[in-house]
Amino acid sequence: MNLNLFLFILFTILTILSSFMVITSVNAVHSVLFLILVFCNTSALLLLLGSEFLSLMLIIVYVGAIAVLFLFVVMMLNVKINPLIINNSSVIPIGFLIFFVLFNILSYSMKELDLIPFKYTDIKLTTWALETNYISNVEVIGNVLYSNYCLLFLICGIILLVAMIGVIVLTMHQRRNVKKQQIEIQLSRLPGNVIKFITLRS
């Protein structure tokens, strides 16, 4: 067994265990942390399979944005642990049904792509020590985006910028009945009118 195959099996086992801990953890924060671990292990699997662009995008988008957003939302909401005991016998049939549907979809897709039967030795893993002289997927996608589709790329950026500005404008509510500090009036007042002496009765 070479190093690449050992790493592939290791990251696959870690991905399965982490995904199992996501659905079985009682604490929501722990579930989100295990979800981040699932994303990291999946990114390592994609890196071993030679798709470094998808691997980096999985880290940047899912781990860097979505999973961190989930974590912040869970921590802000302060989700309490439900003290009620849930009967797992009512959830197990639904789990088996979802597993059966997903397994049939996966097997049908693999039959259409002529991937059955396959062996572990048929998996083509990437040896990164030999890939230093070749053009990576990131460079190829970057050359295509910034040459052939540069106009569409810029239009997508402008649309996202307009959407972000629109969200900021819509969420800014200016209430007129709120007292605001007027600095120019405070600076223009005279020092003699600032302090007022009051005679108290003894």
Q: What H or E segment, with its residue span, contains residue 41? A: helix 28-48
- Say how far apart CA 82 and CA 27 lie, in whole Å: 9
What is the domain range of residue 151? 136-174
Look up residue 96 and give its two tokens.
Answer: 């088996």
Q: What H or E segment, with its residue span, contains residue 154? A: helix 150-171
Q: Are residues 156 and 129 in the same domain?
A: no
pLDDT below 70 — which residues of the chain? 1, 78-88, 112-133, 173-175, 193, 202
CA distances from 88 to 27, 85, 153 (A): 17, 9, 49
Q: Are residues 129 and 140 in the same domain?
A: no
Q: Are residues 34 and 130 in the same domain?
A: yes
Q: Are residues 54 and 143 in the same domain?
A: no
Kindly state whether residue 181 falls inside one of the protein's structural domains. Answer: no
* Residue spans of beta strands (DSSP E) within the chain: none
Q: Are residues 129 and 146 in the same domain?
A: no
Kindly state whether residue 5 falls inside one of the protein's structural domains. Answer: yes
Number of domains in the chain: 2
Distance in angstroms between the alpha carbons of the first and the last residue of the chain? 97
| Contact predicate 64/36, CB 8 Å | no
Q: Are residues 129 and 43 in the same domain?
A: yes
The pLDDT assigned to 106 comes to 79
CATH assignment at residue 35: 1.20.120.1200
Kindly state whether residue 95 falls inside one of the protein's structural domains. Answer: no
Kindly state whether residue 195 falls inside one of the protein's structural domains. Answer: no
Q: What H or E segment, with its residue span, contains residue 201? A: none
Stated pTM of the model: 0.55
CA distances from 86 to 24, 26, 82, 96 (A): 12, 11, 9, 18
Answer positive or negative: Cα dihedral of 124, 127, 131, 137.
Answer: positive
Kindly state whether residue 168 falls inside one of the protein's structural domains. Answer: yes
Q: Are residues 154 and 72 in the same domain?
A: no
User: What does the CA dihedral 110, 114, 120, 121 come to, rounded to 10 degrees?
Assistant: -160
| Contact predicate 46/59, CB 8 Å | no
CA distances from 143 to 2, 71, 88, 136, 153 (A): 34, 35, 52, 11, 12
Q: Are residues 33 and 130 in the same domain?
A: yes
